[in-house]
Amino acid sequence: EPGGGDWLSVQFVELRGNRCFDLLAPGPKEKMPELRLRESNDGGFFADGATVLCPKGSKELCRIVREAHARRATVATEANSVSSRSHALCTLRLLKSQGQLTLADCAGTERRKDSMYHSKERQQEAAEINASLHALKECLRHLALRKDVPPQNLRASALTKLLSSAFVREDAVKLAVICTVSPCAGDTEHTLATLRTGMALSGRGVEKEVRELISTRRGNEPVPPAKWDSSQVRDWLAEVGNGQFQDVCESLPQEFNGKMLVRVTESRFTQMCGGDARRGQQLFALLHERMRAK
């Protein structure tokens, strides 16, 4: 444990929209004081009047952080039974080395369909959360492009205001992003959205996104007719019906592929079979049977 006087100070505030509340202030949770954000001489912002505590050791520090975190605003939603309705900023200042660590616990973004059954108040909260996260991503996007962050972006939300010193003095700041995701298959869409947001916040989301086509087809599952190339179409015609349709291959254009094949009507198959309606109907039926095969 550190000794010889105060070694670290803690400040913990909560941001609900553009309102700031002191999580370390004494008194009940329902009466937490609201703080005003003021601009400092270096262009950053600070929460005026925020409580600052100086723990004597690591155990006391952990207790302070746990108690402050428990006072945050939460509510049950469709996606989470204890969904955070605010951002929280915990600032740890090392008094001897003048170092500083800011932990920003951001509320998760909410899609429109996840909040469609919310009350008007919950919908307003969701809109404010999404707007503040968008403002934060815009600031980080400018940093990733090695550009100065425009003042209007820094002032776009209470979240970006209190983090503005990191954008003004970017050469002296290091950023790390931790994403919390769910292992449940039903939350895959949420997980992907969280990871994309994490990439954007880490400054690596400005590159062109390369989408890979992930095949869910089993290893031995045959390719559907619509995906056949011209050689696969000819191979199928040569084999189907014990080879009785090999002559049809001769009437096909050189680049006739599966996408063209599946659009052929029964009457057109009859023409391709030399006007033999029975053979045309049979070939049409065999193709559609193959298209329905799993």
pLDDT at 65: 93
pLDDT at 101: 92
Question: Of the given ranges (180-189, 199-208, 235-244), which has the lowest mean pLDDT?
Answer: 199-208
**pLDDT surpassing 60 at residue 208:** no
Distance CA 183, CA 16 (A): 29
- The answer to whether 17 and 74 have CB atoms below 8 angstroms apart is no
Distance CA 14, CA 31 (A): 13
Query: Which carries the bigger pLDDT value, residue 16 or residue 11?
Result: 11
Quick: pLDDT tens for 260-278: 999 999 998 888 888 889 9
pLDDT at 9: 94
pLDDT tier for residue 209 given thresholds of 50, 70 and 90: very low
pLDDT at 5: 65
Distances (CA, A) of 198 to 57, 132, 201: 32, 15, 5
Distance CA 157, CA 111 (A): 20
Distance CA 9, CA 31 (A): 23
Query: pTM here?
Result: 0.60
pLDDT tier for residue 241 given thresholds of 50, 70 and 90: confident
Quick: pLDDT tens for 138-167: 888 787 776 788 888 888 899 999 988 888
pLDDT tier for residue 213 given thresholds of 50, 70 and 90: very low
Q: Calculate the average pLDDT of the chain.
A: 81
